[in-house]
Amino acid sequence: MEGTHVSVRLAGSARGRFVGSGGRILAESEGLEFSFDAGREPRVRFEAEGRQGRIFLQPFFSTG
């Protein structure tokens, strides 16, 4: 995380999404690299699922 920008790079291709407060999906795409500008969103979590498995990261808290 740099400022309000969150970037995630995975080892294998997956369907990933950034999730905000209340489980609201903020962005969703497929690939190896994902990025999202949280702006004023206070809490953003990343999760992904692919052939290699699933990942659920702890939430990022924005200071923006």
Q: Phi and psi at residue 23, in whole multiples of 5°?
A: 80, 10
Overall number of domains in the chain: 1
Q: Kindly report, residue by residue over 6-49, the tens digit of the pLDDT.
A: 999 999 999 999 999 999 999 999 999 999 999 989 999 999 99
Query: What CATH number has the domain bearing residue 42?
Result: 2.60.40
CB-based burial of residue 51 (10 Å sphere; 0-12 exposed, 13-18 middle, 19+ buried)?
exposed
Q: Whole domain around residue 17: which residue ranges?
A: 5-61
When pLDDT is cut at 50, 70 and 90, the band that residue 63 belongs to is low
